[in-house]
Amino acid sequence: MSFAINVICEDRPGMLRDIAGVVACQGGNIVYTQQFVLERGQNADRASVYMEIDGEVEGVAEELLAMASIFEVTVHPPFEEIYGSRVIIIGGGAQVAQVAVGAVNEADRHNLRGERISIDTIPLVGEDALADAVSAVSRLHRAAILVLAGALMGGKVTEAVSRLQEEGIPVIALKMAGSVPRQADLIVTDPIQAGTFAVMHISKTAVFDISRVRGMEF
């Protein structure tokens, strides 16, 4: 079974180690974590530590709450059950917006039937900014597919796309100038259709599989 905990604790060196130690002693395996500072006060800085864990929930929260440096522990479903797999859309503002229209409309059909698919967008310009954003997709939790929406992409962006594909994340590109379309798994002329294809590929109920049309143009 999988579950998530959110821990409000002191912001001090070794805090993450102490929490992870409790989880390990209870037989849990941490599969995802994030943490950030909540507030700074005169007595102690406070941080939020979120963890997704494979294992049994019993015992973990109680043992953590027994620690003097922990103020609150809450148990939640993991993000996969709440927000599901993510479609990432990167590129020019107008094209990104149109891809998002297709993706959101298609995701709505699947989510109404019990799936969980979420759409993330960022409009960017410039080769370096785009390449950095593409490279970062592999580090995004639950990212399942990338759509590149723009008029011209190549160079460092193409190199980043190749590395992302090696990580197992497929890439759809709009029909555009530059070398990115030649590297992409699928080229789509209509941005709304590109968003639709992206959602269909990661859906558990759709029959579309990008591997069967890899390298084609629609």
Place of tokens 């079974």: 1
Residues 115 and 197 in one domain: yes
- At 47, the pLDDT band (50, 70, 90 cuts) reads very high
Up-side HSE of residue 187: CA atoms within 13 Å toward CB?
15
The full length of the chain comes to: 218
Give yes or no for a contact between 28 and 34, defined as CB atoms under 8 angstroms apart: no
Torsion angle (degrees, nearest 10) of CA 131, 168, 98, 91: 0
Each residue of 153-193: pLDDT tens digit?
Answer: 999 999 999 999 999 999 999 999 999 999 999 999 999 99
Say what the pLDDT of residue 98 is: 98
> First CA to last CA across the chain, in angstroms?
41
Say what the pLDDT of residue 18 is: 96
Say what the pLDDT of residue 1 is: 78
Let me know if residue 218 belongs to a domain: no
Range of the domain at 64: 2-79
Interaxial angle between packed helices 93-111 and 191-202, expressed in degrees from 0 to 180 and rounded to the nearest 10: 40
Give yes or no for a contact between 56 and 27, defined as CB atoms under 8 angstroms apart: yes
Instruction: Among 27, 52, 79, identify where a domain stops.
Output: 79
Given a cut of 60, whether residue 43 has pLDDT beyond it is no
Place of tokens 């007595």: 43
Which of left, alpha, beta for 215 (phi over 0: left; psi -120 to 50: alpha)? left
User: Average pLDDT of 97-106?
Assistant: 98
Number of domains in the chain: 2
Say what the pLDDT of residue 158 is: 98
Instruction: Among 64, 79, 94, identify where a domain stops.
Output: 79
- At 41, the pLDDT band (50, 70, 90 cuts) reads low
Let me know if residue 156 belongs to a domain: yes
Q: Which residues lie below 8 Å from residue 43, measured CB to CB, with a gap of 6+?
A: none
Residues 155 and 172 in one domain: yes
Each residue of 8-23: pLDDT tens digit?
Answer: 999 889 999 999 999 9
Where are the strands (E) in 83-177, listed by range?
85-91, 117-123, 143-149, 171-174
Say what the pLDDT of residue 44 is: 60
Instruction: Among 27, 60, 79, identify where a domain stops.
Output: 79
Say what the pLDDT of residue 40 is: 63
